[in-house]
Amino acid sequence: MKKFKPTYEELENRLKKLETELDELKDGYRSDIDEQIKIGNLLHKSEKLYRLLFNLLPYGGEVINTKGIIIKCSPSTAKMLGYKPSELIGKHITKFLTPDSIHIFKKNYPLLLKGESKIIDICMVHKNGSILNIMRVAQPITDNRGRIESILSLNIDITKQKLTEKKLQKSEKNYRMLIESASDAFFQGDEHGNFILVNNKTCELTGYSKDELLRMNMKDLFSKNQIKTKPLQYKLLEKGEVIKNERVITRKDGTKLSIEMHSKMMPDKTYQSFFRDITERKKNEAKLKKSEAKFRLISENSKDIICIHYPNGKYKYVSPSSKIILGYDNEKLIGTNPLELVHPDDIDNLIKNRVKIKKEGSFTSTYRIRKKSGEYIWFESANQIIKDDAGNIIYSVSSSRDITERIKTSEILKKNEERLKELNATKDKFFSIIAHDLTNPIGNIMNFSKLLSNNFTEFTNEEKKEFVENIYINSRNTYYLLQNLLEWSRTQTNRIKLSPEIFSIDKIVINNFELIKNVADAKNISLISRINPNHKIFADKNMISTVIRNLVNNAIKFTDKGNITISSVKEDHMIKISIADTGIGINKKNISKLFKIDKNFSTNGTSGEKGTGLGLILCKEFVEKNHGKIWVESEVGKGSKFIIQLKAQ
């Protein structure tokens, strides 16, 4: 066969065609390479985004391999279980599951490895040993060949939800138990009146079984005439009102039963009703009406207020004398609660007595009641309950009278008795001071003076000096005692007048320190003032000076070789002045006796100094006259601190 030889022109055309195809092929390769680069970049970004999302998951998340080993763990998972991520990675997932949950995991894990997604509830163990209820949303992860290489799980802590579910279940159980054990009949009906829930008491009162009632409508229990004359009030129930009324139901055997019924519409449009048998009560009410005429005859002619109360305490009847004693129209009080008129401070006690009457049948109470004018008067009420044949309280009767004058007289007698007791204590204290505390130091002065006068030349100068010092100390103590006694007597007879003024505390302290420096030096006691010179008070200057002097003298008496420090501090609108010593201190059981006239408490000082306790009583009276407070803080062996609180200026 003869070969075909292409012409030059044909070869040139074919070459150009090949070059064009080659260029297209190169462009295709470039496009593929660019696409691969883009895909690589996207995969890199996707991996970074995956890691970021995994770490920022609001729920716990982890990845386990096909053998159940944790290979990735989000911080939220670790935090949920109380671990660090590094403590979880490399561990088998079952290490953190309860035994029951391990069984659930082993049952579902093969299905995950087959490619199924699962949502399971398990229990995981916290690092501290507590158990967490977890909802796991598990999803298999495949490689580029479609093979499952790991399992991604999102862990949602539903512990609180589970606890809530348990509580709801328990609450529902308790609710049903309560309904079944209720002494009243209970039923629940739908919006059409059909029974959907009844308790045993309902069956007992109606004579029907539960199965029979659940196929009935509420209207089936009432006669047609009753429905017509006393229709069921569904519209009021829909408005959210609680309907309370009395009706007559027809039992299965045809007998009639008087009931009291309370009904309320629930949010789901069902309604609930409680009812009880009041047949006997209605009979007793009829009997009571017959006797009311006799009762009214007595009550309307009584000077006391005679009342009949319902079991809840409200007035059923009030006698006309309420107009005379309290100013209220008796008819307008009917249906109201007496507690609305009782003084707030007496209400709790009156309520306790009402509880008491149920056990004892009667009680007498004293309380304050408000008249129409707004004035409170004292009442004494005798109460007696009335029961039906079954022992149920149907009413109570009270007879009340105004005892205001009697109470006032009693209070006056009580105050007079307390005042007499106080006066007797004051008298005893006064005579005690005259008999002992004044005669002893004066006797000492006389004895020392006589010895010194009769034997002056026989004593050495040191002995004479000792006699003189003893005479001085006894004279000074007697002077201060007389001064306190005089001021105290003036307070007892109300002959001392309060003259408040503004003054600095530091000046009073300095003046008192100067007066008693020699006495303090004799016992090696340092007097220290840390009074702020800017602290000023509004009080009677002389009284406060007396208080400071007495407290410093008292501190010297019970201190030996130590310090007495007076300081001041401002708190809000008050100045606190503290007189602190490093003396022997006061026993806690004796602190309460310090400021009381009827408590004869006094101890000797560190150098045998005698005391009367009068100075502290005077301090208390003077401080309180200036609208201040005084108290003491002390510890045996560490010293005492007397604190005065007065109004700052």
pLDDT of 580 > 90? The answer is yes
Grade residue 313 by pLDDT with cuts at 50, 70 and 90: confident
pLDDT-wise least confident of 209-223, 281-295, 315-329: 281-295
pLDDT of 366 > 60? The answer is yes
Amino acid letter, residue 53: L
Share of the chain above pLDDT 70, in %: 81
> Tell me, what's the pLDDT at 633?
92
> Tell me, what's the pLDDT at 9?
62
Sheet arrangement for strand 185-189: 195-198, 185-189, 271-277, 256-265, 243-250
pLDDT of 51 > 60? The answer is no
Q: What is 234-279 written as a DSSP string? A: HHHHHTTPPEEEEEEEEPTTS-EEEEEEEEEE-TTS-EEEEEEE-H
> Tell me, what's the pLDDT at 441?
63
Rounded distance, CA 382 to CA 366, Å?
A: 9
| Location of structure tokens 């006694």 | 485
What does the block give as tokens for 25? 């092929």
Amino acid letter, residue 63: V
What does the block give as tokens for 251? 């039992």
> How would you classify the pairing of strands 526-530 and 563-571?
parallel
Grade residue 494 by pLDDT with cuts at 50, 70 and 90: low
332 touches 341 (CB < 8 A):
no
Grade residue 609 by pLDDT with cuts at 50, 70 and 90: low
pLDDT of 215 > 90? The answer is yes
> Tell me, what's the pLDDT at 100?
93
Chain Cα centroid distance, residue 564: 43
> Tell me, what's the pLDDT at 512?
82
What does the block give as tokens for 374? 């707004």
What does the block give as tokens for 74? 């989000």
- Average pLDDT value for the chain: 81
Query: Tell me: the pLDDT tens digits for 260-277?
Result: 988 888 888 888 888 899
Strand partners, 455: none
Nearest residue to 558 via CA among 629, 628, 635 = 635
Query: Tell me: the pLDDT tens digits for 194-214?
Result: 999 899 999 999 999 999 999
> Tell me, what's the pLDDT at 156?
85
pLDDT-wise least confident of 74-83, 209-218, 460-469, 548-557: 460-469
> Tell me, what's the pLDDT at 49?
40
Query: Tell me: the pLDDT tens digits for 521-557?
Result: 888 899 999 999 899 999 988 888 888 888 888 888 8
What's the whole-number mean pLDDT along residues 220-245? 85
Grade residue 565 by pLDDT with cuts at 50, 70 and 90: very high
> Tell me, what's the pLDDT at 622?
85
Chain Cα centroid distance, residue 518: 56
Nearest residue to 565 via CA among 552, 554, 575 = 552
pLDDT-wise least confident of 118-132, 136-150, 462-476: 462-476
Query: Tell me: the pLDDT tens digits for 384-436?
Result: 888 887 888 888 888 889 888 888 888 888 888 877 776 666 565 555 555 44
Query: Tell me: the pLDDT tens digits for 91-102?
Result: 999 999 999 999
pTM for the full predicted model: 0.35
| Location of structure tokens 């001392």 | 496
Rounded distance, CA 551 to CA 545, Å?
A: 10
For the stretch 517-521, contacts whose Cβ atoms lie closer than 8 Å and that sit 24 or more positions apart, written own/partner, are: 519/473, 519/476, 519/553, 519/556, 520/556, 520/564
Grade residue 125 by pLDDT with cuts at 50, 70 and 90: very high
Strand partners, 400: 305, 381
pLDDT of 483 > 90? The answer is no
> Tell me, what's the pLDDT at 252?
93
Rounded distance, CA 629 to CA 646, Å?
A: 7
pLDDT of 563 > 70? The answer is yes
Taking every pair of Cα atoms in the chain, the longest distance, rounded to a whole number of angstroms, is 184
Nearest residue to 486 via CA among 476, 496, 475 = 496
Rounded distance, CA 30 to CA 41, Å?
A: 16
Grade residue 581 by pLDDT with cuts at 50, 70 and 90: very high
Sheet arrangement for strand 393-402: 315-318, 305-309, 393-402, 376-387, 362-370
> Tell me, what's the pLDDT at 600?
53
Query: Tell me: the pLDDT tens digits for 106-124?
Result: 999 999 889 898 889 999 9
Which residue did the predictor score with more confidence, 24 or 468? 468
Rounded distance, CA 296 to CA 317, Å?
A: 9
> Tell me, what's the pLDDT at 39?
40
pLDDT of 645 > 80? The answer is yes
